[in-house]
Amino acid sequence: MSFNEPSLQIPHASKAPAFAVPADARRPAAVNGPAAALPKEVAVPAPNERRTPEELDASELRYRRLFEAAQDGILILDAETGMVVDVNPFLITLLGYSREQFLGKAIWELGFFKDVAANAQKFAELRDKKYVRYEHLPLETSDGRRVAVEFVSNVYLVAGAKVIQCNVRDISARRKAEEALTLLRAELEARVTLRTAELLAANRELEAFSYSVSHDLRTPLRAMDGFSHAVLEDYGDLLPAAGRDQLLIIRRGAQKMGSLIDDLLAFSRLSRASLTKRPVNTEGLVRGALAELAAQREGRLVDLRIGDLPECSGDDALLKQVWINLLSNALKYTRKREQAVIEIGCVKTNGTDTFFVRDNGTGFDVRYADKLFGVFQRFHRAEDYEGTGVGLAIVQRVVHRHGGRVWAEAVVDRGATFYFTLETDARS
């Protein structure tokens, strides 16, 4: 059929007259849209609704232009015989066969469609179902290549005769992308499995190291501290003052090393400890932490200001450690104030509860705030303020495990404020 022919000829029976397929009854899928289904059956307009020959010619021309320009393959079949009535240029180019190799043949005679209609019986199912869709259907081109396509067929009436329109979309690129994605997913799963095994091995090594630190290193430290203490008690009067001072230095060093080991082990255990989230009474948690820190307030004038503290969700034991560490820092660094002022509260930030501890202590230089939460990081001399430099690292680890973040603001000699949030989705 040439481009300018106004009608579509159906060769299934000698008595059937030639007729034109109305444009609204057999329009192909949109040029760049999905291989959409056409109406399953479209009847010919009633006689009093028939259009003029000029209107029919214009409608046929519009259809023919869409048919020829479509970027999906289109195949028109006689629904009674399965014979190919028409084929558009895109399908001819896609499969590499000539127009003559399509026309006048039953669809099951076309080897590249054998998976769609292997015989007349299967074709009858295709016809009777009126709508059939195949995903990832492999078609073979004239040069032996396999092309993955999406195949959609629809049955409709034209002048009382059934016609099947088949839309064929080349999905080779999509199939390759899906295969590449599947391969990447498999590689990712393999990497995750490998990394998980490595992490488990690292955790076992860490546990072995923790055991070694807990037992093998503590023993000599206890011996150093214990024997130094015994020498001071038993022979202190026989030693010169310099000797006693040196023994005291040995004891303080052993005790400090023990504290460092304790804090380091506590920090390492946070990564392995299970996290049990439940609703937490924040105010009760804060007051419990302050009760444990009562010794740091003895003999001092401390103005504690506790604001509204909403309930949160998390591991209450770990969150209590966060409050203990932050409040302990606030008490420690306000020690040199005549009156320490420590404010505990919560503010809304973009709909998220942000807890804070504010003090009027020594503060710190915010230029170094990024180092504040590192292990063994200290901004003040050990002679002025005791500690191991692990407390804030523990705070950060706990907050991160709860899906939140922690940060600080400060001015030197004017105080500091520590903020932290918890995972929004986990809030009660």
* Model confidence pLDDT, tens digit, residues 259-279: 777 777 776 777 667 788 899
- How much is the pTM? 0.50
Q: How far apart are CA 126 and CA 79, in angstroms?
A: 9
Average pLDDT, the chain: 79
- Count how many Cα atoms sit within 13 Å of the Cα of residue 413 in the half-sphere of its side chain: 0
pLDDT of residue 29: 38
Least Cα distance to 389 among 330, 342, 297, 325 occurs for 325
DSSP letter (8 states) at residue 422 = -
pLDDT of residue 18: 34
pLDDT of residue 67: 87
The residue behind tokens 């063994």 is 376
Q: How far apart are CA 395 and CA 325, in angstroms?
A: 7
pLDDT of residue 375: 67
Strand partners, 152: 133, 167
Least Cα distance to 355 among 385, 386, 314 occurs for 314
Over the chain (428 residues), the average pLDDT of each successive run of 10 is: 34 34 39 39 47 79 86 89 90 89 83 61 74 80 85 83 88 88 93 89 75 74 88 89 90 81 72 81 94 91 95 91 93 92 94 94 84 71 65 89 92 93 64
Sign, CA torsion 40/45/51/56 = positive
The contacts of residue 350 (CB under 8 Å, 6+ apart) are none
Rounded to 5 degrees, φ, ψ at 390 are: -110, -20
- Residues 327 and 416 sit within 8 Å (Cβ to Cβ): no
Query: Which tokens sit at 114?
Result: 């054998």
Question: Mind listing the pLDDT tens digit for each residue in 282-322?
Answer: 999 999 999 999 999 999 999 999 999 999 999 988 899 89
Least Cα distance to 35 among 136, 182, 177, 145 occurs for 136
